[in-house]
Amino acid sequence: PQEPLGDGAVLLRGFARDESEALFAAAQAVIAEAPLRHMVTPGGLAMAVAMTNCGPLGWVSDRRGYRYQGTDPLSGHAWPAMPGVFRALAGRAAAAAGFEGFEPDACLVNRYVPGTRLSLHQDRDESDYGAPIVSVSLGLPAVFLWGGTKRANRPHRVPLDHGDVVVWGGPSRLVFHGVAPLAPGEHERLGTQRVNLTFRKAG
Ligand code: MD3
Ligand code: FE
**Nearest-angstrom CA–CA distance, 114 and 117:** 9
- Domains of the chain, each with CATH number or no CATH: 2-200 (2.60.120.590)
Identify the H or E element spanning 96: helix 84-96
**Nearest-angstrom CA–CA distance, 76 and 126:** 22
In the chain the beta strands, taken as DSSP E runs, fall at 2-6, 9-12, 50-54, 58-62, 65-69, 106-112, 118-121, 133-139, 142-146, 156-160, 165-168, 177-179, 194-200
Residue 148: per-residue pLDDT: 83
What atom of ligand 1 comes closest to residue 160's alpha carbon? Answer: 6
Identify the H or E element spanning 33: helix 20-33
Residue 8: per-residue pLDDT: 87
Residue 153: per-residue pLDDT: 84
Residue 33: per-residue pLDDT: 98
| Count of CB atoms situated within 10 Å of the CB of 2 | 11
**Nearest-angstrom CA–CA distance, 89 and 23:** 9
The annotation status of 192 as a binding-site residue, yes or no, is no
Nearest CA to ligand 1 atom 7: 178
| Per-residue pLDDT of the chain in tens (203 residues, 90 and over written 9) | 677 677 889 999 999 999 999 999 999 999 999 999 999 999 999 999 999 999 999 999 999 999 999 999 999 999 999 999 999 999 999 999 999 999 999 999 999 999 999 999 999 999 999 999 999 999 999 999 998 888 888 899 999 999 999 999 998 999 999 999 999 999 999 999 999 999 999 99
In 70-176 the beta strands, taken as DSSP E runs, fall at 106-112, 118-121, 133-139, 142-146, 156-160, 165-168
SS3 category, 191: strand
| ipTM for the predicted complex | 0.95
pTM here is: 0.96
**Ligand 1 residue neighbourhood (C-beta within 6 Å):** 108, 110, 118, 123, 133, 135, 166, 168, 172-173, 175, 177, 179, 196, 198
Please give the distance, rounded to the nearest whole angstrom, from the Cα atom of residue 4 to the centre of ligand 1: 16
